Structure 1
Amino acid sequence: MTSSLVAVVLAAGGSTRLGRPKQLLTRDGETLVHRAARLALASGASRVLVIVGAYAGDVVAAVRDLPVECVVNARWSEGLAGSVRVAMDALAPHDHATLLMTCDQPALDVAYIQALGDASRRAPSGSAATRFGDRVGVPAVVAPTMLRAALAVQGDRGLRDALNAPGADVIACDAPDLGVDIDTPEDLAAAVARGWLDPLE
């Protein structure tokens, strides 16, 4: 990936359905937020922002050893779109591709992030995203025009509408394992069973 790429790790959520902060679950002893930030750095991003909100103090502490910038979304409870807007404000006047990722997809690896970057450079729109059924979502590498289109989105939809709009020309990349994200206790149990999360103590 080019050094102009920046990465945004969306880690502000309250994990209400899970009942515990998903950001602080661990894989091989490493918290998920630390792992996501580390993967973003390893992908070649020149700048990595971690958007925090709920459990902000603990999440910031979890990535303190990494060269990342933590940005607080004080209105985190309003959903993912607000975190995207906070990130764009912090990045202004950034005008290059942006990697958007969450910290609750424990199967994510550097090779897939790099594949997304390669696909985005082939896409007419400059954007590539992960296929989930007949839709696409994050992780995604998104062109500046796509991000600007998403700034008006409200609630938890994030970039979903912009990425899936007719004529968006986003390349869809396949990574079936990323469909396992950690929203509920059942998701957590499934990830533990696959070896993607450490068992809870």
Structure 2
Amino acid sequence: MPAKTTNVALVILAAGASRRMGAPKQLLPWGEDYLLGHVVKNALKTVATEIIVVLGANYDYINQKVDRFPVTVLNNTDWSMGLGMSIAMASNYIKEQVLKPDGILITLADQPFVTPDYLNNMISVFLPGRNQIISTSYQHQSHGVPVLFDLSYLDQLRQLNSDVGAKSIVDKNQHFITYLRPEFNNADLDTMEDYKTYRKQGYDTDNL
């Protein structure tokens, strides 16, 4: 039986232009920091061996806010093509590394409710070398990010180039999927109304 591992690269996708938000949501205030800063700090509390942040739109401005963290920052100049291009960029970066991770854990910059404990739980149930995909399960039998891929999917991840992210890979490999249900409300903050609603309800704390 394969041994468990903590040798996982954690990729934060933060390249979008936030058109529906009307402002770069990566830098909206959240807790004691800003949205992307909050997500990065949570990622740094995990057992992942490397944190990779993929930026794109407003790169220069946002990168100035991120460079205080011990993370790898990539600039996706093709960010307008969607999440798939950001995943491909991170995967190409990993492909070039001499010491590669056993798995790739993908999460989003606009999901501030994802906790370090949940990400660590995903890593704890991951068994490398089994083509495993660990996907987050939501209501109505849907699934999505955060999602953890075995390194065997690296070349497929490198070929992505659309806004549907890695959904095509997940859909083709249903028999390798392990589903996890989070104990928190894993909402995306896509609009200013979403953002204001959760802040008004007091959700923007660094303890979530």
Shorter-chain TM-score range: 0.7 to 0.9
Aligned to 1:159: 166
Aligned to 1:137: 144
CA distance in 1, matches of 2:173, 2:14: 29
Shift of 1:125: 3.3
Identify the match of residue 123 of structure 2 among 114, 117, 120.
117
CA distance in 2, matches of 1:145, 1:69: 22
CA distance in 1, matches of 2:85, 2:128: 29
* Structure 1 range deviating more: 174-183 or 20-29: 174-183
Alignment of 1:66 with 2:66, yes or no, is: no
Shift of 1:189: 2.5
Q: Identify if the C-alpha distance between structure 1 residues 176 and 47 changes in structure 2 by more than 3 Å, giving closer, same or farther.
A: same
Q: Identify if the C-alpha distance between structure 1 residues 186 and 117 changes in structure 2 by more than 3 Å, giving closer, same or farther.
A: same
Number of residue pairs matched? 198
Question: Where in structure 2 are the equivalents of 1:44-193 lying within 5 Å?
Answer: 44-93=47-96, 94-121=100-127, 125-132=131-138, 133-175=140-182, 177-193=184-200
- Secondary structure of the residue that 1:164 maps to in structure 2? helix
CA distance in 1, matches of 2:148, 2:182: 14
Shift of 1:156: 1.1
CA distance in 1, matches of 2:52, 2:158: 17
Q: TM-score w.r.t. structure 2 length?
A: 0.85
- Secondary structure of the residue that 2:176 maps to in structure 1? coil
CA distance in 2, matches of 1:122, 1:72: 29
CA distance in 1, matches of 2:55, 2:145: 17
**Contact persistence 2:128–2:150 (CA under 8 A):** no
Q: Identify if the C-alpha distance between structure 1 residues 166 and 69 changes in structure 2 by more than 3 Å, giving closer, same or farther.
A: closer
Q: TM-score w.r.t. structure 1 length?
A: 0.88
Alignment of 1:26 with 2:29, yes or no, is: yes
* Structure 1 range deviating more: 150-159 or 35-44: 150-159
Shift of 1:184: 1.2
Shift of 1:31: 1.5
Shift of 1:179: 3.5
**Contact persistence 2:15–2:76 (CA under 8 A):** yes
State the percentage of identical aligned residues. 25
RMSD: 2.2
Q: Which runs of 5+ in 1 are unaligned?
A: none
**Contact persistence 2:89–2:158 (CA under 8 A):** no
